[in-house]
Amino acid sequence: MPWIDLAIISHELHVNQSFKPIKQKRRKLGPDRTKAVNDKAGSICEVKCPDWLANPVVVKNKNGKWRVCVNFTYINKASLKDSFPLSRIDRLVNLTARHELLSFMDALSRYNQIRMNPYN
């Protein structure tokens, strides 16, 4: 959501420094998958410090189009866990009942809605 100011919301990645970064070896993709990755690459930021590298996972949707994903298993294992997860959902729902505006985020893409903090 490029229109939302990063001062309002941004995603920060906190990695446990005791984990050794993992760089996966490049995996060859077929021509169809390679084209899908190259088409998507225009929307991917350049890597400034490639300590963690993962191969793309390319899957065909039901509609025949390719979806390019990244497997973040290793970085997820190294990420620091949140000591304060979300509150009870029933309390959150009750708190929203008296508000007129519930969200300014759309869920069109269903993922990648919040931009990364520039320092990450």
Q: Indicate the pLDDT class of residue 8, thresholds 50, 70 and 90.
A: confident
Task: Note the pLDDT tens digit of each residue in 19-49.
Answer: 998 888 888 888 999 888 888 876 666 666 6
Task: Note the pLDDT tens digit of each residue in 58-117.
Answer: 999 999 999 988 888 888 899 988 887 777 878 877 887 877 776 656 556 556 677 888
Residue with tokens 């990420």: 79
The whole-angstrom separation of Cα 58 and Cα 80 is 28
pLDDT of residue 110: 59
Q: What predicted TM-score, i.e. pTM, was given to this entire model?
A: 0.57
pLDDT of residue 112: 64
Handedness of CA 98, 101, 104, 106 (dihedral sign): positive
The whole-angstrom separation of Cα 78 and Cα 20 is 9
Q: Are 78 and 15 in contact (CB under 8 A)?
A: yes
